[in-house]
Amino acid sequence: MEKLLPRYAEFCTHLHHTIDEVWGSRTYPQYLKLLATHAQSVCEGMLALGDFAAAFVAEPEQVPYGYYRLNYVWPEQAKAFLILWRDVLFEAQKGHILQAEGRLKAEVPARYRQIAGEKLKQAARELQAFFEEELPPEKEQQAHIARWRLQKNPWPVFKEQLQRLSQQCQDIQQQYLQLKEIVELFDRIRQHVQTAMAFCEKEILEFEQQAKHIIEDIKQQFEENSSSKFGKISAKLEDFDNFENLPHHLNVFSQQVEEAIEEIPERMQVVVATLGGLVQYKEISFRRAVRLWEESKLMPLMYEIWEVTENARSSIGMGLVNIRNRAALLAAEAAEEKSPEISLEDMVQPIQLFVNKVSSWKKELAKQKKEVNLRLRQEFLLSAIYKQEEEFLPLPLQSAIRNLAENQNEFLEEIWSWTQHQVATVRKLIQKVEKEESLSTSEKLVHFIRNWSMDETNHDYNAIFQTRGYIGESFWVGRKAELAHIEKLIQSWEKGFRGGVILSGNRFCGKTLFGEVVANRHFHKRTIRLSPDSMLRVEGRRMHVGYDLGEALEFIRKYTLHKRPLIWIDDLGLWWDHHVPLRQNTRQLQRYLDNYPGSQFFMVSMNNWLKYHLGTIRELNRIFHSTINLDRVSLEECMQAIWIRHGATNKLLVDQQGEELSPKQIQKIVTGIYKAARGNIGEVLYRWAACIQWVDEKRVQFVPKASYSLPDFLTPDMEVLLSAILMEKRTNEYWLRKLFGPPFKDKYSHILNQLISLGLLVRHRDGWLEIHEAAVNELSRMLALRQSLNLDI
DSSP per residue, 85-140? HHHHHHHHHHHHHHHHTTSS-THHHHHHHHHHHHHHHHHHHHHHGGGGSPPPPHHH
pLDDT above 50 for 602: yes
From the list 603, 617, 618, the residue with the least C-alpha distance to 572 is 603
pLDDT one-digit tens code per residue, 487-536: 998 888 888 788 888 998 888 888 888 888 888 888 888 888 898 888 88
pLDDT one-digit tens code per residue, 690-724: 888 888 878 888 887 766 677 777 888 888 888 88
pLDDT above 80 for 572: yes
Give the phi and the psi of residue 673 in degrees, each rounded to 5. -65, -40
In a domain, 449, yes or no: yes
Q: Which of 629, 659, 677 is the last residue of a domain?
A: 629
Q: Which of 603, 629, 655 is the last residue of a domain?
A: 629
DSSP 662: P
Same domain for 214 and 281: yes
Mean pLDDT of 131-151: 87
Higher pLDDT, 249 or 187: 187
Give the count of domains, the chain: 5
pLDDT above 60 for 463: yes
Could you give the maximum distance between any two Cα atoms of the chain, in Å? 132
From the list 303, 289, 304, 471, the residue with the least C-alpha distance to 381 is 289
**Is the Cβ–Cβ distance between 347 and 218 less than 8 Å?**
yes
In a domain, 735, yes or no: yes
pLDDT above 80 for 249: no
Q: Give residue 412's pLDDT band: very low, low, confident or very high (50, 70, 90).
A: very low
Between CA 406 and CA 172 the distance in angstroms is 38
**Worst-scoring range by mean pLDDT, 7-11, 36-40, 596-600?**
596-600
The helix or strand, by DSSP H or E, that contains position 734, with its residue range, turns out to be: helix 733-740
534 strand-pairing partners: 545
Same domain for 196 and 340: yes
The pLDDT value recorded for residue 418 is 38
The pLDDT value recorded for residue 409 is 40
What CA–CA distances, in Å, run from 551 to 46, 560, 572? 77, 14, 15
pLDDT one-digit tens code per residue, 20-48: 999 999 888 899 999 999 999 999 999 99
pLDDT above 90 for 421: no
Same domain for 701 and 730: no
From the list 452, 436, 445, 604, the residue with the least C-alpha distance to 515 is 604
Mean pLDDT of 540-560: 87
Same domain for 194 and 138: no
Q: What is the 3-state secondary structure (H, E, C) of 19-63?
A: HHHHHCCCCHHHHHHHHHHHHHHHHHHHHHHHHHHHHHHCCCCCC
Mean pLDDT of 158-172: 94
Same domain for 136 and 98: yes
In a domain, 225, yes or no: yes
pLDDT one-digit tens code per residue, 55-68: 988 887 778 888 99
The pLDDT value recorded for residue 398 is 46
Same domain for 462 and 483: no
The winner for highest mean pLDDT among 238-247, 360-369, 734-743 is 360-369
The three-class DSSP label of residue 786 is coil
Same domain for 461 and 530: no
Same domain for 417 and 281: no
Q: Which of 153, 169, 198 is the last residue of a domain?
A: 153
Half-sphere exposure of 567 (CA within 13 A, CB side): 27
Same domain for 733 and 702: no
pLDDT one-digit tens code per residue, 304-318: 888 888 888 878 877
Residues in CB range of 600: below 8 A, 6 or more apart: 499, 528, 556, 560, 564, 565, 566, 567
DSSP 296: I
Total residue length of the chain: 793
Same domain for 362 and 245: yes
**Is the Cβ–Cβ distance between 626 and 382 less than 8 Å?**
no
Quick one: CA dihedral 443, 444, 446, 451, positive or negative? positive
In a domain, 328, yes or no: yes
In a domain, 433, yes or no: no
In a domain, 168, yes or no: no
Same domain for 278 and 379: yes
In a domain, 161, yes or no: no
Same domain for 272 and 376: yes
Distance of CA 785 to the CA centre of its chain: 40
pLDDT one-digit tens code per residue, 183-205: 999 999 999 999 999 999 998 99
In a domain, 280, yes or no: yes
Domain assignment of residue 242, given as a range: 182-389
What CA–CA distances, in Å, run from 22 to 25, 42, 46, 146? 6, 12, 18, 42
Between CA 513 and CA 505 the distance in angstroms is 13
∠ at Cα 120 (118, 126), nearest 5°?
105
